[in-house]
Structure 1
């Protein structure tokens, strides 16, 4: 079934000429549509209240009220940052954030996913938009301990991601990251990978996330924030918990960690000696 916005767009391109101005305005201003009355939209489009209601019916709704109700549900995640800024609280909810992080990092499915990662032919981390940075961090953390791992994070656009995922298939694990506001392309790409036989793990904020229904395993990372569209803190906790799980299951983890430390040692700057420690060193006989 088409979304409310898609129905508005379709009607705007196929309705009678007298209703086209209403459809084009709603298509260009879906958020403003939610805050305007039929009278206000009629004035903005130089039409009439009757035209606004007739266009709503042409789009498949009973009237303008039902159009706004359906559109409002769809636009909720888009509007939340605006509403949050209007009611921003002075004190951050540190206790709630800490509880979310602790719960996300202790999810019982993490050990199962860690086992999947260890046994996979290849591991893919998929993240678009803000989630692309988290996908990159996940691969950065796991790369020393997983032989075949890759981030597909939107470099070159969605078409390039799809091309790279052509190599994804049976025996692979794809871990998709998605926080509000959700990316439609991420949903399409995850479904594409699942159809090719990959095992799908989704790290997202809520069971209502559009990725939840596609996942074989879902790890929840609450993302509520007082001002920002979403918080990535809990997702970072899940990523680090996965890395810990993989490292503890890898029998060569100690050797690999030692080799990594020796490899990067030449590129690391030494810690400076604090005045207090310097004084202690000078006093030693």
Structure 2
């Protein structure tokens, strides 16, 4: 299948039935909304049956409606503006209870991540990190929450961890200037993908570093260049990025790495306990 599903639909318009043309025209005009509709909802929206929608997907060469829907989502993954996200999000939630809708959606993202995550890729990422000379962690915008969480715990496990926390491209490159062979760069980015993170990862790879991507799809620009990709489902539609599944995956990564570096981790906490006791940190915290 050609990558651009809209071009395929347009080129075959003359051969569609009346019902299929209704579906095709709606997708072309409102693909940002159609990509997140069920077959039933899309059918109701254009006044055709659900079975007509399913047959339309088959007519385009997909093995089912979910495959066509995924193709639409992949096409627009990095194209939705914030305004479009708000519009689509409002349309999806409608009059439903917001708390129930969002939390159930997050549960589904964690379930999908668990089912689709490659254990081979996960284990490869763990091995790369364990054997790294230095670890660099990069993430901007909403990914900052994930990378900060990861860096906090990795700093308890490793001696050479650098969190690249700037949003300026020039400063980002300054912080990874000495990256090279034997180092690992962990980059996190979700739609709309950060060009700064992508460029920094490209530079690191050119210098011989190994890359670990934390992203939402194999089609992500980070995943395409990484030596190991950790794929976690995120919500590209809402103006608020859902990072529940990515954060859970990062949590698993920290635990997996910690188990392999158990002796070093135990030594770190023994040192911290001694410092806390010697300098009466507990009492100071209580006083504060």
TM-score category of the 2 structures, normalised to the smaller one: 0.5 to 0.7
Contact 1:123 1:173 in 2 (8 A): yes
Say yes or no: does 1:135 pair with 2:147: yes
5+ residue gaps, structure 1? 1-33, 36-71, 273-285
Identify if the C-alpha distance between structure 1 residues 267 and 102 changes in structure 2 by more than 3 Å, giving closer, same or farther.
Answer: farther
C-alpha contact (below 8 Å) 1:203/1:220 kept by paired residues: yes
2:90 match: 85
Of residues 146, 150, 167, the one that matches 2:158 is: 146
Task: Tell me, in whole angstroms, the C-alpha distance in 2 between the residues paired with 1:220 and 1:247.
Answer: 20
Give the alignment's TM-score, normalised by structure 1: 0.62
Q: Which moved more, 1:225-234 or 1:241-250?
A: 225-234
Number of the residue aligned with 1:220: 231
1:126 to 138, 146, 161: 138
Q: Do 1:173 and 1:199's aligned partners in 2 also have CA atoms closer than 8 Å?
A: yes
Q: Which residue of 2 aligns with 1:193?
A: 204
Give the superposition deviation at 1:189: 1.2
CA pair 223-252 structure 1, distance change in 2 beyond 3 A = same
Q: Name the CA distance, whole Å, in 2 between partners of 1:268 and 1:242.
A: 30
Uncovered stretches (5+) of structure 2, i.e. residues with no partner? 1-28, 31-74
Kindly tell me: are residues 139 and 213 of structure 1, through their superposed partners in 2, closer, same or farther at Cα, counting changes over 3 Å?
A: same
The total of aligned residue pairs comes to 203
Deviation at 1:114, TM superposition (A): 2.0
TM-score w.r.t. length of structure 2: 0.61
Whichever of the two has the greater Rg, that structure is: 1
The 5 A counterparts of 1:64-79 are 73=76, 75-76=79-80, 78=82, 79=84
My pick for the range that moved more, 85-94 or 214-223, is 85-94
CA contact 1:179–1:204 (8 Å) conserved in 2: yes
Moved more, 104-113 or 171-180: 104-113
